[in-house]
Amino acid sequence: MIENFLQYGQWFILLLSVMSLYLVSSVKHETRLNGYILTGVSRFSGAAVFIFVDLYAFVIANLIQTYIALRGYYKNKKAGNGN
């Protein structure tokens, strides 16, 4: 069961990561906000996968990236409301 999760989950997380990069690079404010949320979800999913394979440094790195993505979302959302 874990092997299947790791085998297929890594490709799903890669797809989410690529989609989030595409969205974050948009010039449209709402699309960029969605990209930040998707980045947070994909990084958090990556952390979950790394827990199963005992790579705790990568878990910490992914959790930091999740925090940065969500922080970017809230900062951009706040900046977008002022315009």
DSSP one-letter string for 2-15: HHHHHHHHHHHHHH
- What is the Cα–Cα distance from 79 to 15, expressed in whole angstroms? 28
Q: Which two tokens stand for residue 35?
A: 């990209």
DSSP one-letter string for 27-72: SSHHHHHHHHHHHHHHHHHHHHHHHHTT-HHHHHHHHHHHHHHHHH
The reported pLDDT for the residue numbered 10 is 84
The reported pLDDT for the residue numbered 20 is 92
Q: Which two tokens stand for residue 70?
A: 């969500």
Which residues in the chain land under pLDDT 50? none
Nearest to 20 by CA among 53, 1, 42, 48: 42
The reported pLDDT for the residue numbered 83 is 54
The reported pLDDT for the residue numbered 68 is 94
The residues spanned by each domain of the chain are 2-81
